[in-house]
Amino acid sequence: MIAYLIRRLLYALPILIGVNLLTFALFFVVNTPDDMARMQLGIKRVTPEAIGKWKQQHGYDKPLLFNARASGSEKFSDTIFYNKSVGMFVFDFGYSDDGRSIGREIQTRMVPSLAIALPTFLVGLLIYITFALLMTLFRATALDMVGVALCVFMMSVSGLFYIIGGQFLVSKLWHWVPISGYAGGVDGIKFVLLPVLIGVMGSVGASSRWYRTIFLEEIGKDYVRTARAKGLSELRVLFRHVLKNAMIPILTGVVVVIPLLFMGSLLTESFFGIPGLGSYTIDAINAQDFSVVRAMVFLGSVLYIAGLILTDISYTMVDPRVRLQ
């Protein structure tokens, strides 16, 4: 197990290097630091001196990959790539354009993001699986048909509609919870309720339908027939056998997103004014702050790879046949 983990972590390294190179190419080769400076300073009426000054301030006044004028190992270390990208491997994200430490921002903003994303994830999982089990229980009846039709309808509605409609109905018309904002501790609950509700609503259609397909696939298998032949009730078959065996396909899709919960949701956070990583990213996109976007891209891929490894580990917990070596 330990050996397997170490190997997986080593495999992750070339992928992260790939991500790093890709983002580096995207951000610095397609758009040269000169272009960035010009964009930050305004396109028109910008003097070469101003560009040079901006570049020096933000540390972009070095060669991209190879510094011929430096000596020794500095030939590689005194470059933009080394300064801006290599540090990410040890989670040193540098500074945003307004001079704040990105690493510190990420640390403080992670908590609000999790406060929204984690309940959404857990409540959602519970509700989707319950709905899917109900539809499976009543499969091929009118109830199932209505359920599936409802799912297709709900997944056809734009996610923006749930947010805008929910905010309007719950906050503006009924005044149940504040329309947006965030607070830590117990006070925060009233701010968290609506985003969680809307987050769950937003993917109830697609997810329930997906779980239903998984359960239906399981229910057609031989062991289910055997269990019924044994005289087990349908409910018992469903909970004791089908649910357990469906865990593997469910985990494949679910565990991978758990680490990504830290990143928060772009849409929800910006609509509800939650100071999490999602709104941080959106603000960076709107302000065209490349260092922040680059840091978030890197963080996202690290978390994704962590999710993949977690998925493998979770298999060993639900399926005794799986052995990681």
Partner 1 sequence: MKIVMLWTDAMIFLLLATALASGWYIRQRPHLLLPWQRVARSGAGMVSLLVLSLFVLVGLLDTLHYRAALPDKSNGHTVYSPEVLSAFDALAGGLRSRTEKTYSAPLASYLYAKESIATADGKTLRDYPRLKFGGAHLGDPGREGAGDVAQRALLGAAGGLLVGGLFAWVVVVGWAKCSLPTRDAHASVGGHSCPPYTLRALMIAALIIAALIGAVANLSTAYHVLGTDKVGQDVLYLSLKSIRTGLVIGTVTTLVMLPFALLLGIAAGYLRGWVDDVIQYVYTVLSSIPSVLLIAAAVLIMQAYIEMHADWFETAASRADLRLLFLCLILGVTSWTGLCRLLRGETLKLRELEYIQAAQAFGVSSFRILTRHIVPNVMHIVLIAVVMDFSSLVLAEAVLSYVGVGVDPSTMSFGTLINAARMEMGREPMVWWTLAAAFSFMLVLVLAANLFADAVRDAFDPRLNRTEGAT
Closer by beta carbon to partner 1, 164 or else 317:
164
Main-chain dihedrals φ then ψ at residue 193, nearest 5 degrees: -55, -55
- Give the chain's length: 325
Sequence-distant (6+) residues with CB within 8 A of 317 are none
Ramachandran area for residue 258 (φ above 0: left; ψ -120 to 50: alpha; else beta): alpha
Shortest reach from residue 74's CB to partner 1, in Å? 29
Closer by beta carbon to partner 1, 168 or else 223:
168
Q: Provide the token pair at 216.
A: 């239906």
Closer by beta carbon to partner 1, 14 or else 99:
14
One-letter amino acid of 253: G
Binding site for partner 1 (CB under 8 A): 14-15, 18-19, 22-23, 26-27, 30-31, 35-36, 38-39, 43, 152-153, 155-161, 164, 168, 172, 220, 260, 263, 266-267, 270, 281-282, 285-286, 288, 290, 293-294, 296-297, 300-301, 304-305
Helix, strand, coil abundance in the chain, percent, nearest 5: 75, 0, 25
Assess contact for 252 and 319: CB atoms under 8 A: no
Following DSSP, what letter does each residue of 166-223 receive, concatenated?
HIIIIIIIS--S-SS---SSGGGHHHHHHHHHHHHHHTHHHHHHHHHHHHHHHHTSHH
Shortest reach from residue 71's CB to partner 1, in Å? 34
Closer by beta carbon to partner 1, 47 or else 158:
158
Closer by beta carbon to partner 1, 271 or else 315:
271
DSSP code for 281: H
Shortest reach from residue 324's CB to partner 1, in Å? 19
